[in-house]
């Protein structure tokens, strides 16, 4: 075997014999012919269309959504938040098929316990309204809830490839098997033609091969065993009249023993995230550089403690108004701050990279493309990326005095410590927002806040403690202290920054991982164990996320980024 430009080519027996008996000229001619064949083979390989399956990434979200529209033109596509939730909840369980650089297939799964997977259920309840938010790291069944293929490429056996990836994953994770509910798209037509009287009769006819269903027949050829009909599984599936076939594939490498446990073999290594909240004192500065030096002091200090995140308070950049020290009307003062936006982003990003730390940049008034002032938290990660998350709910005072308007996007941010969410102050008092972020996979929610007195502060604190309990999630709060003269509606500050946990045995007493002294400039630091959080969600005294009644209620986000 010879190596030619990185391509391996097998030398034939005739060429070997010729090489041994012939002179240099013949050898060169044979080598030239061999190289020409190798070059032609390489050219054919490079121009041949390529089809492969890989894990889904966050950057694929919009392409998956577009695929959904093509695959199911009569149904509402997945929201981008739902797709982010699926990918971030269980990254190794979501797959995309790529054909000639185009995304043409998608499969979604999550882990769940066998008892729940095999019991009657509906799509909304089992999938957590499509977010895969019922994913359980200790689950022994791989639950598949979506396979879609571009109609233009259904002859390439893309569905087969996606199912093979699911089986490979189940075998690698030593799972008992795969469970899902398959559509029965031929049922409506068979019912209208009076070929069958019920969904059960239709399933029996397909199993006995009296009728053929494009989905059920495909699943059976792939080794899936029909268990029962699930009525009202997905009401919007009109071709199936809302019904689905409950199917299972047992992993031949693992006996389907209900008492067998493999979680310890699969559990991820313990992961601890260190979070530092800066209780920041407002004081006069004479230049942007002086402000930057003060910020860098805190970043440097918490980086020395090997912190993964550094959190600054809401509107901590109001300190910059003291540079000119003008007595401006409130709305003019806030608008003037927006001129520092680019310098602030550059400074925070530089510090994040230099000190190897992720910075939750409090918040800063920023003028958007429409000319409105919005309250934006710039999240600067240690990989150099910058993310913006704006306040959704301005307070009545912010709207009246500062003319701040609310944003309409609430997406998680993927970091090297997992997905996170940001809620700026008043946002934390709306439970729907935290639930929406947790449904997308957030395990830590950061709350930069700015409150003037104790009652205002306690509204934020008590609501954040509630969010920690009801979502089984960590929350990190950072607020301002001190006074800033000549800034209207920013006269006084009250803060007691803290890091909160769910209230259960594995966590700190009173659900408080770290606290500060009220109204004193200082830092709160805590280690947050993400494995403990996952275990509490799966096996805690209460299991708020798992026990939600998806059949009664859910959070639906009506707006998302344009395509």
Burial bucket for residue 222 (CB in 10 Å: 0-12, 13-18, 19+): middle
Output phi, psi for 227, to 5 deg: -105, -50
What is the distance between the alpha carbons of residues 80 and 556, in angstroms, rounded to a whole number?
A: 12
Measure Cα distances from 528 to 412, 433, 478 in Å: 18, 22, 16
Residues 6+ apart with CB under 8 A from 208: none
Marked catalytic residue, from 167, 277, 391, 498: 391
Annotated active-site residue 425? The verdict is: yes
Q: Order of strands across the sheet with 102-112?
A: 51-55, 95-99, 102-112, 141-149, 177-182, 244-250, 225-230
Query: Would you tell me how many other CB atoms lie within 10 Å of the CB of residue 400?
Result: 13
Task: Report the alpha-carbon angle 60-359-362, nearest 5.
Answer: 105
Q: Return the half-sphere exposure (C-beta side, CA atoms, 13 A cut-off) of residue 483.
A: 4
What is the distance between the alpha carbons of residues 463 and 390, in angstroms, rounded to a whole number?
A: 19
Torsion of CA 540, 274, 364, 350, to 10 degrees: -150
Contact 114, 138 (CB under 8 A): no
Task: Report the alpha-carbon angle 144-145-150, nearest 5.
Answer: 105
What is the distance between the alpha carbons of residues 369 and 373, in angstroms, rounded to a whole number?
A: 10
Marked catalytic residue, from 277, 425, 463, 498: 425
What is the distance between the alpha carbons of residues 431 and 412, in angstroms, rounded to a whole number?
A: 16
Closest CA to 479 of 522, 513, 418: 522
What is the distance between the alpha carbons of residues 513 and 211, in angstroms, rounded to a whole number?
A: 61
Annotated active-site residue 314? The verdict is: yes
Beta bridge partners of 181: 246
Marked catalytic residue, from 114, 165, 314, 560: 314
Packed helices 341-354 and 288-304: angle between N→C axes, nearest 10 degrees: 30
Contact 224, 215 (CB under 8 A): no
Measure Cα distances from 226 to 223, 559, 560 in Å: 10, 38, 38
Annotated active-site residue 332? The verdict is: no
Locate tokens 């950057």: which residue?
Answer: 59
Burial bucket for residue 443 (CB in 10 Å: 0-12, 13-18, 19+): buried
What is the distance between the alpha carbons of residues 153 and 329, in angstroms, rounded to a whole number?
A: 61
Locate tokens 């009644």: which residue?
Answer: 549
Contact 491, 437 (CB under 8 A): no
**Residues annotated as catalytic (active site), given as ranges:** 314, 391, 425
């Amino acid at each position: 075997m010879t190596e030619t430009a990185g391509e391996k080519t097998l030398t034939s027996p005739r060429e070997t014999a010729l090489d041994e008996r012939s002179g240099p000229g013949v050898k060169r001619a044979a080598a030239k012919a061999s190289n020409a064949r190798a070059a032609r083979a390489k050219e054919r390989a490079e121009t041949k269309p390529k089809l492969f399956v890989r894990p889904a990434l966050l950057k694929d979200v919009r392409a998956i959504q577009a695929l959904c529209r093509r695959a199911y033109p009569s149904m509402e596509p997945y929201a981008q938040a739902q797709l982010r939730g699926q990918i971030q909840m269980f990254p190794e369980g979501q797959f995309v098929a790529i054909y000639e650089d185009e995304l043409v297939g998608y499969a979604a799964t999550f882990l769940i316990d066998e008892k729940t997977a095999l019991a009657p259920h509906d799509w909304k309840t089992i999938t957590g309204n499509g977010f895969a938010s019922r994913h359980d790291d200790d689950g022994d069944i791989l639950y598949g809830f979506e396979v879609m293929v571009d109609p233009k490429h259904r002859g390439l056996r893309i569905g087969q490839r996606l199912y093979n990836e699911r089986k490979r994953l189940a075998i690698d994770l030593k799972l008992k098997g795969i469970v899902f509910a398959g559509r029965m798209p031929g049922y409506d037509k068979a019912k209208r033609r009076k070929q069958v009287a019920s969904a059960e009769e239709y399933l029996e006819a397909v199993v006995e091969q009296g009728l053929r269903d494009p989905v059920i027949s495909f699943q059976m050829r792939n080794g899936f065993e029909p268990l029962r009909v699930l009525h009202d599984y997905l009401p919007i599936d009109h071709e199936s009249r809302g019904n689905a076939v409950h199917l299972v594939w047992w992993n031949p490498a693992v006996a389907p023993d209900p008492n067998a446990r493999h979680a310890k073999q699969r559990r991820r290594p313990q992961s601890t995230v260190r979070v530092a909240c800066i209780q920041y004192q407002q004081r006069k500065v004479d230049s942007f550089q002086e402000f930057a030096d003060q910020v860098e002091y805190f970043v440097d200090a918490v980086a020395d403690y090997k912190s993964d995140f550094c959190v600054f308070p809401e509107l901590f950049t109001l300190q910059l108004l003291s540079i000119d020290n003008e007595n401006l009307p409130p709305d003019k003062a806030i608008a003037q701050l927006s001129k520092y936006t680019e310098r602030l982003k550059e400074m925070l990003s530089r510090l994040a990279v230099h000190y190897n730390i992720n910075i939750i940049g409090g918040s800063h008034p920023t003028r958007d493309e429409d000319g409105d002032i919005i309250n934006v938290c710039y999240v600067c990660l240690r990989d150099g990326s910058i993310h913006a998350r704006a306040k959704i709910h301005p307070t009545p005072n912010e709207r009246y005095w500062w003319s701040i308007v609310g944003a309409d996007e609430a997406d998680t941010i993927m970091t090297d410590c997992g997905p996170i969410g940001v809620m700026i102050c008043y946002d934390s008092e709306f439970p729907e927002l935290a639930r929406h972020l947790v449904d997308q996979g957030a395990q830590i929610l950061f709350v930069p806040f700015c409150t003037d007195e104790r009652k205002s502060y306690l509204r934020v604190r008590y609501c954040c403690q509630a969010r920690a309990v009801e979502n089984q999630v960590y929350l990190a709060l950072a607020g301002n202290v001190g006074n800033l003269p000549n800034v209207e509606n920013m006269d006084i500050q009250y803060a007691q920054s803290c890091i909160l946990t769910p209230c259960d045995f594995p966590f700190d007493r009173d659900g408080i991982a770290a606290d500060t002294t009220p109204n004193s400039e200082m830092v709160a630091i805590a280690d947050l164990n993400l494995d403990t959080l996952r275990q509490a969600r799966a096996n805690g005294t209460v299991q708020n996320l798992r026990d939600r009644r998806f059949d009664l209620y859910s959070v639906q986000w009506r707006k998302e980024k344009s395509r």
